[in-house]
Amino acid sequence: MRELSNSIKKLVVWPLAGFVVVCLLLTYWQVVAAPQLNKAEQNNRSERMRRRVQPGRLLTSDGLVILDAREGAEGWERAYSDSEAFCHLTGYNSRSGLQKTLSEVLYAQGRYAHVWEDILHGRQVGNDIHLTINSKLQQRAHRLMRGKRGAVIAMDPRDGALLALYSAPTYDAATITKSEEAYNVFTYDPAKPEINRPLQGMYAPGSVLKIFTAAAAIDVGVADPGKKLHCAGVERIAGTLVRCRKAAGHGDLTLRRALADSCNVAFAKLGDELGPDRFRSYVKKFHLLDAADLPLPTSTGRMADFKGFKGDMQLVEASFGQGATLITPLSIARLTATLARGGEVVQPYLVDHVETPAATRLPSSQGKELGRAVSPETAQAVAGMMRSVVEHGTGGVADIRGVQVAAKTGSAQNPSGDPHAWFTCFAPYDEPVVVVTVLVENGGSGARTAGPIAVEILRAALETTG
């Protein structure tokens, strides 16, 4: 009996073992290895497909074609114009910049496909993308930032349209893709030209963040522009030694004066009075640390959590833009725009519209409403204080003829050397149509280094917007 049962076992076990082996092999090929195989096949296939389709172009709002398509020996190829000014928008191949993120649009795939138009054309043609960027502003930013590292942003605060989005250092897409050697030089460049600094650069905001602290304090009702404060130059606040940029101290001063003169001690006291919970709630309301909803990689900001035994110290430092706070230039531009437009948070956007080969306009997916950060009265009060920065304070460089500018300067200490220079501003003061934010890495004084660049971009933007 035992023998019989053994031979039955053998009969069952061997086929069963074989079955298990086959199952394992199938699982391996279909589940474990499949994504890899698919990718390789898809890569070849999609590259071949890419070259067959005439891809769409990227155009600025004033009609400059910054990414074109030309027919070469092996099919359609990309051509760039004035690449050093626009490379961070176009990218340098199908795996970078808007060429990557808007590939579906440019190659008319998925919901951007238009089969009937292709049949009428007799071939597959992609869609053109019209950006909100003004070529003149972008090119001017490129000229002004020569030899510097940093970011220039111009935005229409009324709707969030980005008029300039420039990153330095820059590169020429055509040159770096010419040879492997050129590409290696680009990749290992210590200045990291591939980083799109306005959206990905993380910087200590320094004094430009004081407009946020002022807005939060005014909005909760612990301050108004006339609030009386005192600065002795060096003071211990919530256990932290705070040094004002004016070593002898400002003495008695109002909040308006404290912003105009960029007094650290006054703002440290204001942050301490505001407390961690209220400070944090306004960080959320302003979407201060949130990545923007743009078709390019955007970094999320960082700030201390104000908890534990270091919490009070962290809050005091954050109140004047130092400590653990790191933020993108776009966040500062958005903060400025929010105050310029009466307290409603703005959603920046880059694509104005998409156009099919038959000139049909497809609606671009514009971002959702982000709500209100502060009351119109609060926004107006802070805007007025920013006007004082220009008229009587550190932002005198923006006191220009013919237009009233409101601004804030910043020189942010950082571990990489000289302070980063910030300048953020909007104009005209009464009815803002342009916000400009400039950051120059290790530029020292915001007023001296970033200020003149911001003012020139602002002037040019006011000319183009009329």
Interface residues with Zn ion (CB under 5 A) are 231, 244, 250, 263, 265
As beta bridge partners, residue 164 has 154
The least distance separating Zn ion from the CB of residue 257, rounded to whole angstroms, comes to: 9
The least distance separating Zn ion from the CB of residue 383, rounded to whole angstroms, comes to: 22
Q: Which residues contact 118 (CB under 8 A, 6 or more apart)?
A: 108, 124, 125
Nearer to Zn ion, 204 or 266 (CB): 266
Nearer to Zn ion, 243 or 284 (CB): 243
Nearer to Zn ion, 265 or 303 (CB): 265
Q: Which two tokens stand for residue 46?
A: 């999609």
CA distances (Å), 88 to each of 39, 363, 460, in order?
27, 24, 21
The least distance separating Zn ion from the CB of residue 237, rounded to whole angstroms, comes to: 12
The least distance separating Zn ion from the CB of residue 246, rounded to whole angstroms, comes to: 5
The least distance separating Zn ion from the CB of residue 249, rounded to whole angstroms, comes to: 6
How far apart are alpha carbons 282 and 238 in whole angstroms? Answer: 21
Nearer to Zn ion, 265 or 315 (CB): 265
Nearer to Zn ion, 231 or 274 (CB): 231
Nearer to Zn ion, 150 or 419 (CB): 419
The least distance separating Zn ion from the CB of residue 229, rounded to whole angstroms, comes to: 9
Nearer to Zn ion, 133 or 259 (CB): 259
The least distance separating Zn ion from the CB of residue 262, rounded to whole angstroms, comes to: 8
